Amino acid sequence: MTIVLIDADACPVKDEAIEIAVRHGAGAVLVSNGGMRPSRYPDARIVVVPEGADAADDWIAEAANPGDVVITADIPLAARALEKGAAALGPTGREFTGESIGTALSMRAFKQHLRETGESKGYNAAFTTTDRSRFRQALDLVLRRAATGA
């Protein structure tokens, strides 16, 4: 069975990810450093990891298997998921692939350099309803592919 592993601490599409996972017969797992109310997400397993910068990422990377889907905005975690054979999808609907992950990692490093040197303030664009819609469509497509083994 396909599992949707959600990097939940700052994920704006938890509800959508769970809804779509359930519709496809996939499991849903919310991984967080804490603060998740189980009653709000009855269709998902909730995993609370110890405090730590990468504890949730490490748990997700270890748990991911081929055919699973990892939902994260964290590009290094997306790369680790791809290495395990899982699909990786950002909350705006951007799918990370073997072909695109190198460029994404390079751009992340470049933007970090700009922030460190003061060339950029590092503000992120606001999350929009278009992003939410794009995510829903992308997750639906990724889960359909997983169901067919494509």
Q: Which domain holds residue 31?
A: 3-148
Q: What pLDDT sits at residue 105? A: 61
Residue ranges for the chain with pLDDT beneath 50: none
> Angle at which helices 55-63 and 75-83 pack, to 10 degrees?
20
CATH number of the domain encompassing residue 14: 3.40.50
Q: What pLDDT sits at residue 109? A: 59
Q: How distant, in Å, are the alpha carbons of 5, 52, 95, 102, 141 from that of 59?
A: 10, 11, 21, 22, 25
Q: What pLDDT sits at residue 123? A: 65
Which residues is 6 bridged to in the sheet? 30, 71
Query: In total, how many domains does the chain have?
Result: 1
